[in-house]
Amino acid sequence: MLGELPSNFVAEEYIDQVQALRHADVFVTHGGCNSIKEAAVLGVPMVVVPFCVDQPSNGFAIERAGAGKCFPDPLATPRGAIGDAVMAALGSEAEEQRRCCRLLGEALRKAGGAPAAAKACLNLLRPASADMLDLAQDVTDTSRLGCQVILDKERDDGLRVRIPAGIVNLLK
């Protein structure tokens, strides 16, 4: 399906992204939330080539933070610009981008994780009550980062929290 690959490429059906990022010097990514959080937590500079939904704004946020570069329209990107960004992240900009990624990662760790996300969602839906804020604190004590809070009318407490496996693995 891929055809012949260059000798320095390896094609795999699946890799553990978090494990791969632990060994990466730069990450070329589509800019999905999980991907950028995983890279930031591990201090890996990013070259973001988004293609839909929240990815362009995620990429711009990474660029504004100094943690990488964003190319929101690859077809309009000058030839070689993405490669140049990768080389800069490996060379002249490596130290500064890594520093900025580490700062982002630390901010993510301190952001409050699932309980803070649950509180924010509940505060948007109705005035905060002590009962709901206590419930939000109890949503999860296993993840501090990268969860998805789902309002679920089928549950008595109204909340379900989904934590991506990659984020859980980062925190072990």
In CATH, the number for domain 17-110 is 3.40.50.2000
User: Sheet harboring 27-29: ordered strands across?
Assistant: 27-29, 46-48, 68-70
Query: What pLDDT, on the 0 to 100 scale, is given for residue 129?
Result: 46
pLDDT band at 144 (very low <50, low <70, confident <90, very high): very low
Contact 27, 21 (CB under 8 A): yes
Q: What is the mean pLDDT of residues 140-155?
A: 45
Note the pLDDT tens digit of each residue in 123-139.
665 544 444 444 444 44
Distance of CA 90 to the CA centre of its chain: 20
Which amino acid is it at 86? V
Note the pLDDT tens digit of each residue in 89-131.
999 999 999 999 999 999 988 888 777 877 777 666 554 444 4
Output the pTM of the full model: 0.68
Tokens 């803070």 correspond to 116
Which amino acid is it at 5? L
Residues of the chain within CATH 3.40.50.2000 domain(s) are 17-110
- The burial of 29, by beta-carbon neighbours within 10 Å (0-12 exposed, 13-18 middle, 19 or more buried), is given as buried
